[in-house]
A and B are shown apart, each in its own frame.
Chain A
Amino acid sequence: MLYKIWMSIVKEFLLLKRDLGGLIILFIMPLVLVITVTLIQDSTFKTVSDSKIPILLVDNDKGSVSKTVFENLEKSNLFSVVTQIDNKTITEDIARENVYKGKFQLAIVIPKNLSSDLQAKVDQNVEKIVSSLGMTDSTATSEPQPIIKEKEVKLYFDPAVQMSFKNAVMSSIDKMISQIETKSIYTTFEKQLGEGSTNFEQKSFISFKEIIPKINNKEVRPNSVQHNVPAWTLFAIFFIVIPLSINIVKEKSQGTFVRLRTNPVSSLVVIIGKTITYSVICMIQFYMMVAVAVFLFPSIGLPSLNIEGHLALMSVVALFSGFAAIGFGILLGTIASTQEQSAPFGATSVIILAAIGGIWVPVFAMPKIMQIIAKSSPMNWGLDAFYDVLLRNVTFLEIIPKISLLFLFFILTTAIALFYDKKKRAV
């Protein structure tokens, strides 16, 4: 039996060696994918000067508030503020048109008299408080206060802009405006209380600090590489479903599968042969991705993947993820009758499993129902196991439940494939 398994492995490797397209899918595409995605995602997180997002600012106020908004936006390092197009000052109409056509992703319209009206409103409120405390001049007449309408800072977003970007921008602008209002209130109080009064400390009293987990007394700060490499490695491993299912469909259509069924060889030998071959492929893929992340990434401006002390456990997770992918590929190849069925279905299902599994959007950010579904995706088990090893510094014992699930998935899908094949043969 061992010799038959060995010869099956040799045959599978020979078939792969002669299939250039399959080799490209297996080895080149995952590398291109991990490099591209990590580069893109890294620049999203980085606040480097050459990746500033140009935004439009329509200043109808021309006062201190709009000046502060302008200065804060410029200081943010995230945006470059555009106030003129073709040497013409931008109006709200121009801004709207440019943003809706996708030329700019965001326009901020500061309303007329914002600075003066804000100051007037704050003056009114402070005066009310001061007078209620009996600190006003007794000779001052209490004239009726003019009504000051609430002001709106308008934001125009390119409809193609993603929700997460929108929320982040709105939140930072909201924070900026709140700070301006607070500062204005403090300043007015100081004025009302007159000279000699103590200057208010305007610095924030409450601040926050991120506590970074430490491994071996070294802070392990997660970066885009630590997140992306496991995620896209897993994605690549699962793409093995396509060549493997095509391999099985081809065996059926070429008649070699029928010949094997007449030979004194069990289906198990054939499946073990394929499983070992494709597991080796998965591990080669994995080590290639890790090597690229460790050695190539620093030379293209990305942080290096920190695998210090993790490689053995990461290899275990990769191997078991590979088993899950192989089981799925065997099942798909057994059920599909043609390559036209297996290839698109394989590709689409891997993308769906990746989406469900949290490769693109973290599971915690998904709706409740999707979070429950995510827990049933083998890619989620694999990804979580990778994060456990790489970012949470867990031991082998702690990843056993996740790798067991991956192995069970392999057993289950393979068993279904064998059962389906047997059932189909009983014509």
Chain B
Amino acid sequence: MQSIIKIESLSKKYKEADQFSLNDVSLNINEGEIFGLLGPNGAGKTTLISMLCGLVKPTSGHFSIDGLDYQHHSSKIKKIIGIVPQEYALYPTLTARENLHYFGSMYGLKGSDLKDKVIETLDLLGLLKFADKPVETFSGGMKRRVNLIAGILHKPKVLFLDEPTVGVDVQSKNAIIDYLKVLNQNGTSIIYTSHHLAEAEDFCTNIAILDRGRIYAKGTPSTLINSVEDARNLEDVFISLTGKDLRDAI
């Protein structure tokens, strides 16, 4: 299978920090994969995704997405990726439709193509009847779904999801996961971070477990479970690799 993301010795040390947030990480993510980045707080998951989305500059190392080198083709990369951030990156006083029209237009979508796509996706995620209500009146689950739509309207080749189901009810979570599976079947590669290990086990085709800026293990969920003695699920693997210590940090 062809690599969609190639990461070579990628490191990041923030200016004020004492330690590397990401330390010499190399990774290949294949086209069509749902790749899970799992790890405790401060493991470097968000830093890695932020670098891949062009939000943070690497301290050293290199990566390319769909064969496009990040240093020379950052604007081309932006056109083929989508991001669903952990926070609701939406204008609360605008309606769902207005938000989506705006963010869709930033990807160059316009006219009836944009309008139809917004209606279609809102409908698929059960939000069409709320399309003209301000987002600030939505529940957490509804906001999460609009947040997701804003990142996928332009049919990205690669979709980055930073904890897309955090703080939502079971129904919304299922709707989001089901929709993401459909997207993946239609050719979108997904890179996903989460603390819901059971969800990741079910959802991801491949997983990397990160801690302290390094990759501790990599493979399919079943390979990872089989690689650790007495592990019954991904949570057992996770605990065995990252330990039980609390990771509180300020």
Contact = CB atoms under 8 A, between A and B. Distances in A.
B56 A427 contact: yes
A8 B106 CA distance: 9
A254 B106 contact: no
A261 B75 CA distance: 10
A19 B93 CA distance: 8
A contact residues, range: 20 to 34
Contacts of A425: 55-57
B contact residues, range: 20 to 34
B96 to A, nearest CB: 13
Interface in A254-300: 254-256, 258-265
Contact of A262 (B54, B88, B91, B134): B54
Nearest to B83: A262
Given A7-B106, A14-B94, A18-B134, A263 B55 contact: no
A3 interface: yes
A397 interface: no
Contacts of A15: 91, 93-94
A7 B93 contact: no
Chain B interface mostly helix, strand, loop or mixed?
A: loop
B106 A260 contact: yes
A130 to B, nearest CB: 90
Contacts of A3: 105, 108, 110
Interface in A370-427: 425-427
Interface string B55-91: 1110000000000000000010011010101011111
A259 B98 contact: no
A4 interface: yes
Interface of A: 3-4, 7-8, 10-11, 14-15, 18-19, 254-256, 258-265, 425-427
18 contacts: A3-B105, A7-B106, A8-B102, A11-B94, A15-B94, A18-B93, A254-B91, A254-B92, A255-B87, A255-B88, A259-B151, A261-B54, A262-B81, A262-B83, A263-B78, A264-B107, A425-B56, A426-B57
Interface of B: 14-15, 53-57, 75, 78-79, 81, 83, 85, 87-94, 98, 101-103, 105-108, 110, 134, 150-151
